Amino acid sequence: MTICGNCFKKLVDDHPFCPFCGFPRRPVGLKQCNKGHVIYETQQTCPFCAQSQNLGKSLIGFDMNSTQQTGIEDKVKPKGAIPDKTVFERDDDEKTRVDVNLDNTIIVVGAPFYAWLVFLDEAGAARHDMRLVKEKSIVGKGVDADIRLEDDFASKLHALIHFEKGSFYIADLGSTNHTWVNDRQVLKDELQDGDAIRIGRQTMIFSRLRRNP
Amino acid sequence: MNDDKTRFEEEKTFKGWLVVLGGPLKGRDFRLTEGKNLVGSSRLADIGLADSNLEPLHFSIRCQEKDVCLTDLDSDSGVFIDDKKIDRQIIPDETIFKAGDSEFLIKIFKGR
């Protein structure tokens, strides 16, 4: 390919002068700017990065119509650039993964059990439920509790619900007003499906699948 | 404690859960309320499930005072309990059944 040394337009015939600007025809070399962009030898400013000083050495045999220019631009991208996609890989060591959907439903992947606490109102009707997703869940009114109760009669860390070897247990954590299961005070007891747990003034029904998935 | 979004609607009585034991939504559970609960892949269903092999309205679970009834809503692929296709059946607690690509279990809540 022959290029006019003045207007840089392509010359397609053997005319001794450029048909566009009349500049005498002569071969035009190529060179690189400091950032690696390939430009014509007669250009004083790189059109890609506007560098006008210290333009680099000349190139021989470089095809301006090839895709190499794009490749050079890619190479000069700053290190640590943000990739187009961020891939989050699941930690295989994590046994249980909990996701919360926009509709506030809970997805539990890999949990060894299905169990819920159903909170009752004063009339004994179901008010709302909560799925147990951890093998150890602390119930209380403190901010560190996994299941928080808005009840002044509950201790900050009131009781522990614990899953072990296919069974659920509840243990009182030295609470002021004690933990009650089916109207019986307990220090530690195994929970059965349908048991009524009372902590402070809150009554909740423990519900679980009899078989583990 | 759960926030207000998880509270049951006042006019509906909570009756239990539809648990997904297998399939694309494995690990999820959905609340069942008194009366008819329509289940399918449609957004119009009471319980909409992203299972491409479920009909838009595939089956219904009617929670009554004393029992729970599972009904196939004339679906092409059917509803199966122990590999037997069913049309309408009263089911006990923790019955496992299959529909579409999913395996379900119904857990009935026993109140006080």
ipTM of this complex prediction, to 2 decimal places? 0.83
The mean predicted confidence, pLDDT, of chain B is 87
In this prediction, residue A1 carries a pLDDT of 59
pLDDT tens by residue, chain A, 213 residues: 566 766 767 776 666 677 777 776 655 566 667 666 667 666 777 766 765 544 544 444 444 444 344 433 333 333 333 333 323 333 333 445 555 554 555 555 556 688 999 999 888 888 888 888 888 899 999 988 889 998 999 999 999 999 888 899 999 999 999 999 999 999 999 999 999 999 999 999 999 998 766
In this prediction, residue A42 carries a pLDDT of 66
Average pLDDT over residues B67-83: 94
- Of B6, B19, B110, which has the smallest distance from its Cβ to A128's Cβ? B6
pLDDT at B110 over 70: yes
Cβ–Cβ of A126/B29 closer than 8 Å? no
Alpha carbon separation from A53 to A30, A43, A56, A62 (Å, rounded):
16, 11, 9, 22
In this prediction, residue A108 carries a pLDDT of 59
Which H or E element spans position A191? strand A188-191
Q: Compute the C-alpha angle B47/A116/A148, nearest 5°.
A: 115
To the nearest whole angstrom, how far is the Cα of B27 from the nearest Cα of chain A?
5
pLDDT at B103 over 90: yes
DSSP string, A134-186: SSEEEEESSTT-SEE---TTS-TT-EEEEEETTEEEEEE-S-SS-EEETTEEE
Q: Which residue has the higher pLDDT, B64 or A58?
A: B64
Among all residues of chain B, which has the CA nearest to that of A212?
Answer: B21
Main-chain phi, psi angles of A72, to 5 degrees: -65, -40
Question: What CA–CA distance (Å, rounded) separates B93 from B108?
Answer: 6
pLDDT at B16 over 80: yes
In this prediction, residue A156 carries a pLDDT of 92
DSSP string, A90-145: P-TT-S-EEEE-TTS-EEEES-S--EEEEEE-TTS-EEEEEE--SSEEEEESSTT-
Q: Which residue has the higher pLDDT, B1 or A158?
A: A158
Residues of A in CB contact (< 8 Å) with B are: 103-111, 114, 116, 118-120, 124-131, 147-150, 193-194, 196, 203, 205, 207, 209-211, 213
Main-chain phi, psi angles of A25, to 5 degrees: -75, 130
Question: What CA–CA distance (Å, rounded) separates B79 from B70?
Answer: 9
Question: Left (φ > 0), alpha (ψ -120 to 50) or beta: where does A166 sit?
Answer: left
In this prediction, residue B50 carries a pLDDT of 85
Cβ–Cβ of B8/A126 closer than 8 Å? yes
Among all residues of chain A, which has the CA nearest to that of B104?
Answer: A213
B26 contacts on A by Cβ (under 8 Å): 109
B12 in reach of chain A (CB within 8 A): no
| Residues in Cβ contact with B102 at an 8 Å cutoff, skipping those fewer than 6 apart | B20, B22, B23, B24, B25, B26, B49, B51, B54
In this prediction, residue A175 carries a pLDDT of 93
Average pLDDT over residues B74-102: 93
Contacts 24+ apart (CB under 8 A), A140-145: A140/A173, A140/A175, A140/A199, A141/A200
pLDDT at B46 over 70: yes
What count of CB pairs under 8 Å joins A to B? 77
pLDDT at B10 over 50: yes
The tokens of A53 are what?
């000083």
Spatial CA neighbour of A206 closest among A176, A167, A178, A174: A167
Neighbours of A191 (CB within 10 A): 20
Per-residue confidence band for B11, with pLDDT thresholds at 50, 70 and 90: low
pLDDT exceeding 70 applies to what percent of chain B? 89
Cβ–Cβ of A149/B1 closer than 8 Å? yes
Q: Report residue B16 CA to chain centroid gap.
A: 9
Average pLDDT over residues B24-31: 87
